[in-house]
Structure 1
Amino acid sequence: MKVAVITEWHPFDVVNFQKLFRSYEDVEAYPQAWDIFAQDPGRDGYDALVFYNMSFPAPAEGDARRRYLEDEFGTTGQGIVLLHHAILSYETWPFWDAVSGTTQRRFSYHREQELRCRVADGGHPITRGIDDFTVVDESYAMAEPAADNTVLLTTDHPRSVRAIAWTRTFRNSRVFCYQSGHDDRTWSDPSFREVLRRGIHWSAGRLA
């Protein structure tokens, strides 16, 4: 699978982040800046788009990113994955509400939290056969995703939103949102890696 990994603004551990995607034998990942991707004439050639951006504010009228999002994004059937802080992007823009399945993304964050992740939907292709697992990660305290999402993983940590992973549709595309993924303590966890790998494949229609 050919996957664009789209980043903006938020700093991260580049080496280990790229090692995460290189660990997938069935994924060809192409990390790139958001503004470059939005102007790439070949952007429709990817099977899935993994967003790891944290973008504020909403792009201005006429900006290439806004034109792409409003005119094309989600219409091609490409998979969409919002990983960790990508869910928080465009905090007050209703368009990103519809993509992420959230209507209130004001948040507080708490680093190095031990999060017990429980499988809420064991029949979904992303979580089928996955056992509950624990990661040390940055948590977000924010409103829960809307009722029209399918929640796959939850936690009862008092400093975290309850829903850790959920799916939805946006226009013609499947969307997988995964709140985990701050740094290598999470990226190196085998269960996290498998959930993310399946989420990418599911979003692209490769996992049923």
Structure 2
Amino acid sequence: MHPHSSPHPGPRSRRRTGSPRSARLAAVGAATLLLALTALPAAASGPAPSRAAASSAAAGSSDPSDRVLVFSKTAGFRHDSIPDGIAAIEELGAQGGFAVDATEDAAAFTPDNLARYAAVVFLSTTGDVLDPAQQSAFERYVRAGGGYVGVHAAADTEYDWPFYEGLVGAYFQSHPAIQQATVDVEDRAHPATAHLGPQWERTDEWYNYRANPRDRVKVLASLDETSYEGGAMGQDHPISWCQDYRGGRAFYTGFGHTKESYADPAFRQHLLGGIRYATDAAQADCRPEQGYRPLFDGTSTDGWKQAGPGSFTLDTASGTLTSTGGMGLLWYQARELRSYSLKLDWKVSSDDNSGVFIGFPASDDPWSAVDNGYEVQIDATDAPDRTTGSVYGFQSADLAKRDAALNPPGEWNTYEIRVQGERLRIWLNGVKINDFTNQDPARSLRQGYVGIQNHGEGDEVSFRNIRVKDLPAKSGGHHHR
């Protein structure tokens, strides 16, 4: 509920050459980081280096932050859509600013060669495609911060390698005939799914998996088994997910069997978003998530009440609330919260101002929340204790962690605001950026309401998927877990 103070240059969330993650990858194979792309081994029967690879070789690029390796070796069933998939990823790379090398030669899996890439895409690989030395090199690559993207039959790969089982998330079990099905999009903040509506109707080959990975990964989308024939996982059938795994980032999608998939703009955006996450070009909260209930599900504002001037515009098509005018507060009056984890997705359009208020008493005066609660700020350019991730006016976020975790204007971010006793912790896109303990009895966090701010004219901030989970109460402000 506060006007801007003097701005400073806003944070940017883009990995730069020389970042810690790039340095870790470089350390995996320092001796050959400057190899020309033409030195990449190619199988006698495999495809030639990609067009993107050739153009990048001509430019002499060797920065692992903007290079992706597509691996499509098969030791079992071979999908005839693989060439379409390679071509699509090359085109996405040309549009998205990353170079693409494609190979079916497992000899590419050496520490030196893998260190040249931000991510490796397993494109409908099948069977046992890596020998023990190659497995070891890839495991070291992931542990050093490398990214993994698994597409469709990547789940039908390396059944005797436990590390890979954890990385891909689940192994293939069976599939029915190709048919249309309804996809329930569970996470609409991740770059792979932010462009989709709550349901996605598409035709593909729908995998059943040997185990449900939900307790280990963040499920992005699942199948409605009532919408097609042959589902074998019941009411909970994940089909796409992401996770932080052993130091690296992993994204898997069960889509991509058909050639037509790779010409579908929605699927191509899904695949691009997964690659951007795996390469660290986009941030997302990929921690497993269960037990939350919606406060705002995108369909109505039941239970919410506007205090003060301005309002929020509800768009049920996109499932968003967008701030208009102010300074006001839309607060959830249906229930007072005590010990809880509050999660919500938010997006700014430019240098906009908003925030999430917590721990305030019921009131139709928005300034009551200012005086009696705390604001978790959303504002790219302000003083450190008044910018994104701060407890406004009281404690700055860890700026280095915040900047690394933050997506830029136009892209979605996810907050987790966790309140237990007088302790307030804040996660941005899965990274803890603030840990604050209240010392003021007038602002006790032990109980109170929550709300989102509409700051004023020209501040356009959108919110989506506001949900909460009750947590065990903890006394005091101690800082051990």
- Mapped to 2, the partners of 1:139 and 1:92 lie a distance apart of 23
CA change 1:35–1:59 in 2 (3 A) is closer
How far apart are 1:207 and its partner, in Å? 0.8
CA change 1:86–1:34 in 2 (3 A) is farther
CA change 1:4–1:57 in 2 (3 A) is closer
* Alignment-derived partner of residue 6 in structure 1: 71
- Mapped to 2, the partners of 1:66 and 1:19 lie a distance apart of 26
2:141 counterpart SS class: coil
* Alignment-derived partner of residue 76 in structure 1: 144
How far apart are 1:36 and its partner, in Å? 2.6
Instruction: Pick the aligned partner of 1:205 from 252, 267, 280.
Output: 280
1:144-179 CA-partner distances (Å, limit 9, x unpaired): 224121001111135345211101121111100111
Contact 1:135 1:189 in 2 (8 A): no
| Structure whose alpha-carbon radius of gyration is higher | 2
Gap regions ≥5 residues in structure 2: 1-65, 284-481
- Mapped to 1, the partners of 2:83 and 2:129 lie a distance apart of 29
* Alignment-derived partner of residue 264 in structure 2: 189
2:193 counterpart SS class: coil
* Alignment-derived partner of residue 52 in structure 1: 123
* Alignment-derived partner of residue 49 in structure 2: none
TM-score (norm 2): 0.39
CA change 1:17–1:198 in 2 (3 A) is same
- Mapped to 2, the partners of 1:123 and 1:93 lie a distance apart of 32
Gap regions ≥5 residues in structure 1: none
The within-5 A match list for 1:25-40 is 25-26=95-96, 27-39=98-110
Contact 1:57 1:91 in 2 (8 A): yes
- Mapped to 1, the partners of 2:179 and 2:145 lie a distance apart of 35
Higher relative contact order, structure no. (Cα contacts within 8 Å, ≥ 6 residues apart): 1
* Alignment-derived partner of residue 17 in structure 1: 85
Q: Percent identity?
A: 23
TM-score (norm 1): 0.86
* Counterpart code for 2:138: L
The within-5 A match list for 1:1-208 is 1-9=66-74, 10-11=77-78, 12-24=80-92, 25-26=95-96, 27-39=98-110, 41-57=112-128, 63-70=132-139, 72-102=140-170, 105=171, 107-131=173-197, 132-142=199-209, 143-157=211-225, 158-160=229-231, 162-208=237-283
Contact 1:77 1:173 in 2 (8 A): yes
How far apart are 1:91 and its partner, in Å? 2.3
* Number of equivalent positions: 203
1:107 counterpart SS class: strand
* Counterpart code for 1:163: P
How far apart are 1:116 and its partner, in Å? 1.8
Structural RMSD (CA): 2.2
